[in-house]
Amino acid sequence: MGWSELKHLSVTLEDDGKVALLRLEHGKANEMGIDEVDDFARLARLLDDADGPRTLITWSERRSRKGTPIFISGANVSERQGWSTERVKEHVRWQRQVLAMLRQAPVFHVAVVNGVALGWGTEYLLTADYRLACDDARFGLPETNLGILPGAGGTSELWSHVGLAQALRLGMTGERIDADEAWRIGLVQERVGDVAAGVARARELARLVGLRSPTAVAAFKRAVLASVGRPPSLRAEEEARAYEHCVDTGEAAIGRSAFRKIVAGGSAPWGPRKPWSPLN
């Protein structure tokens, strides 16, 4: 499977394949339907490849006919007309699984949000490691007004990012919040003026990631995520196993031999990313 198989997502590779740029430009309003979710599953598998990119940057410059900027307007609910109850439930379970796959991808995922990120749009942000909000960013979870609830992470995962009270507020009231409020409650980590500034900041973060061992970076992310909710003894064991993976794969030796070059701001001749998995 190659990058050309992504038919509904616009992804380009830069910096010798180290950076994947995902520009959201699909459907009427960047809504998420069957085709897009299937492409996201393919994307997750491509990111997991040993020779895959080290950073993923997601952003959108899309605008509605009225000029409203759009990040992701939500799920494509209209395509579900005529679906059986079972098919709806299976599809939403698939969405949830795909976003979980993206969350675990061994890359540094930066999302630059400009415009509305509603429902699925807000939930998609939970797959990112770092989130930047532009001046025009707007966030919200409208699902309970449609007789459902956020089903792709907004119910199970959002609270761990913004706290229980804020998650309940967003999900139960459907209140939309702006970029400053999203930054205040921790939904995003930085504020930027516009998309250009956001993408520039994301590219700088990608440059820093690209200097480092892809094996060490990936193992670090996996170990951090695996530590969430576990007792201290298991967290320490995951850290030890991830560290020893870097030693066993030879990356630590490469780092030692290239120490002077690294201190001077250069990069060592790292090997390809070698996967590491936490304990079950």
Whether 61 sits among the annotated catalytic residues: the reply is no
How remote is the C-alpha of 238 from its chain's centroid? 22
Burial of 224 (0-12, 13-18, 19+ CB in 10 A): middle
Residues belonging to the chain: 280
The one catalytic residue in 5, 25, 61, 143 is 143
The one catalytic residue in 123, 157, 238, 251 is 123
Residue in 122, 119, 138, 115 with CA at minimum distance from that of residue 69: 115
Residue 3 is encoded by which pair of tokens? 């990058």
**Three-class SS state of 27:** coil
Give me the half-sphere count of Cα atoms (radius 13 Å) on the Cβ side of residue 243. 6
Residue in 231, 238, 270, 234 with CA at minimum distance from that of residue 252: 270
CA distance 85 to 122: 25
Non-local (6+) Cβ contacts of 165 within 8 A are none
Whether 143 sits among the annotated catalytic residues: the reply is yes
CA distance 197 to 178: 18
Active-site residues, by number, are 123, 143
